[in-house]
Structure 1
Amino acid sequence: MRTFIIILAGVLVSCQPAPEPYDWHLPKDFPAPVVPPDNPMSDAKVALGRALFYDANLSFNRTQSCSHCHQQQYAFAEPLTQAIGSTGEQHRRNASSLVNVAYNSNLTWAHSGLTRIEQQIVLPMFGEQPIELDITGHESEILSRFDNANYNRLAEAAFDDSPLTFDMVVKALASFVRSLISLESDFDRYAYQQDDDALSESARRGLNLFFSERLECHHCHGGFNFTQSSQHQFQQLDLRPFHNTGLYNIDDKGGYPLSDPGLIEITSQPRDMGKFRAPTLRNVAVSAPYMHDGSLATLRDVIEFYNAGGRGAGIDSPLKSPFIKTLNLTEQEKDDLEAFLLSLTDQQFLTNPQFSAP
C-alpha cells in the first residue's frame, strides 16, 4: 500500500488510501457477515491466513496444521469420531465444519461466550486441555519459523508490518476462515436462482417436510445457513442456538456423560445440561460422523435418531428440547428428507482452489 505525503498549512500529513472493500462473492441481495472493526477483511489477510492454515510449522512438533482437522473435501471437518491433536491426544468432540463460519453467532459446540472467530482460534493454538497445536511454552521458536522472505512479504501486504506476531497470525487465520463461503448448492440454485430443475421431486418433498410444523427441523436449523447459530448485517434477533436433543439420559434426569455435559460447563445452569450448538446443515452429507461426539455415523442414522425423538433413554429426557419428538416418518419420507439434505452439498465449495493449500 502506498503512502502519500501532502502539506496542509505547513504541516506534513501522511495519507493512506482507504482499503478496497472486500468482495464476499455473495449472491445478489444476500447479507454480508458481521466482521469485527479491529480486523477488517482484506484479500491480503486472507492470503496470509490461507498459508498459515495449511502450514504444519504452526504446531510445535510440525505434525499438524489447522487443515489436519478441517479438510476441504469434508466441508472443513474430518471423518473421525473425535479429533486427535498434534501430540496424539484424543479430544472429546468431533471437529466442527467451518462452512460459512463467518455467519456463526457462537463458536465451538457448547460455549455461549465465544462469539468471535478471533477468540476461538486462540484455543487450538494455545490450549493445553486438550493439546491441539501445542504452542504454549514454545511461542518464540514457532514464530521464528515464519520469519522468512515469503511470510514477511505476506505480512507486509496484510498488516504493513513484519515479521509475524501471534496477533497477526490470529487475525489472518480468522480472515481466511471467514472467507469460506458456501452458497452454490442445488438448493441455492432452486431457492435463490429460480432454477426449478435444480431439485428432484424427492428433494422438493423433503424440503417441504423439513420446513413443516410436523417435523419442525427449521426451528433449530433455520435461515439461509440452516442453523439458529447465526448473525449477519440484517439480523435483528439474538437467537438461542443451544439445544438438548435427547442423545443421552444417563440418570433419568436428563444427565449427559460427565466427560462432556455440554453448555452447563460454561453457564453452571442445570437447564443447560446436554445442550449443544445446532451446526449448519450446509454440506452436511460430507461432514460425517455427526453430533458433538461423532456418535452417529451416517446421515441416515441422524434421520432415524430424530424420527425416534432421541436415542434410548434420551427419548424420555426431561431436558430434551420440545422440538424433538417422535416423527413417525415413512420410508419414503426418510428418503425424501435425505434427498433434500444431499441437495445442500456445494461441490464448487468442496473443490474451490482458492480454499485449498497454496
Structure 2
Amino acid sequence: MKKWMLVFAALAASVGPQLSAGPQLSALGADSGFADKAIRLIVPFAPGGGADTGARRFAQAFAEKIGQSVIVENVPGAGGTLGAARVAHAAPDGYTLLYTTPGQQMTAPYLIANLPYDPLKDLRAVSKLTAGVNVLVVGKDFPASSIQALIAYAKSHPGKVNFASSGIGSTSHLAGELFKKMAGIDIVHVPYKGSSVAASDVVAGRVQMSIDTLSVYLPYIRSGKVKALGVSTPEPNPIAPEIRPIADALKGFDASPVNYITAPGATPDAVISQLNRLINAVASDKKLQAAFASTGSILGGDTPQEMEALVRSEQKRWKEVIDSAGIAVTRKNN
C-alpha cells in the first residue's frame, strides 16, 4: 500500500530553548520515559479529507508541544479499519497512535465481519479531540423548509424522499438512518463515494436531502443552492449559529461525529496518562481551537476513562440504528 507521509518537525529554535529535546522532555516524560523519539500518527483515510486535515493540524501543534517530530501516515482502506489494525498491532509504547473516527471502534464491529483487531481490547482510548457537526440540507426547490415540514412531507410521501450519504456505514449514512428511525418516516438511502459527489447531486436536485459535514455544505447554504434545516448537534454551531439543532424539532436527536486519539491496547497506564496530559494541553490552546472552529469542529480533550465510556455508549447506540436499518454486514477475509 502506498503511504503518504508528512513530518512536522518541532520548531524548537523558533519558540525558544524550553522546547528543546533535553530538559523539557525530561520534565514532560520523567515518570514514564516517554517522548524521546518521533511519534507516528496513523490517519486511516486518504490524504485531503476532513480527518486528514484535522490530524495534520493537530500533529503540528502536538510536535511543537513535545519537541519531537510527529509523522502523519495515511493508511486508508476498509472504512478506516486497515489503519486501525496497523495501530492495534503496533508496539504498545505510545509512539504509534491512531487519529480515530467513529468507524474504527463505534460502528465497524456491526458493519464489518472478521475485523483484523478487537475494537475494545486492541485499541485504548487516550483522549477526545474534536466534536464535529453535520447539517441536514434539502434542495433549494424542495417543498419543505423546516424539520417539521420535512417529516410531514416524508410521512405523506413514503419511500419518495431519498437521502444521500458519503457511503454505506459512513457517519452521514448512519445520521440519516437515525433521523429516519426517530422521525418514523420511510426515506431511501442513496450512497455515494464521498461527500463532495453526494453534495453535487443534492445541489442538482437529483436527491432530496442529506445529513453531512457542515463545512462541506456551508458554501452551498450561503449561496442559496441548498436549504439548511438543522444541525446534528444539541446546540447551534458557532460558524452558523442561525441554523437551529434538529433536536429542537426531534427531541434527543444527536449525530455529532467525534474524533479522538487511541493507542495500542497494551499501552501502559503511565504512558496513556502522559499522552492524555499532553494532548489536553494542546487541545486547550485558544488559537488551535479557533482554527478547528473555522471548519465547524469543537476542539477539546477529556480523560481516557471518559472517552472509553463514550466509545461504549456510542457502540450501543449505533448498533441499534444499524440493526433497525438492516444494514448488511460486509464480509472480510483476513
Q: Structure 1 length normalisation: TM-score? A: 0.23
- Pick 1 or 2: higher relative contact order, CA cutoff 8 A, min separation 6: 2
The structure in which a higher percent of residues are strand is 2
**Larger Rg, first or second structure (1 or 2):** 1
Q: Structure 2 length normalisation: TM-score? A: 0.24
The structure in which a higher percent of residues are helix is 2
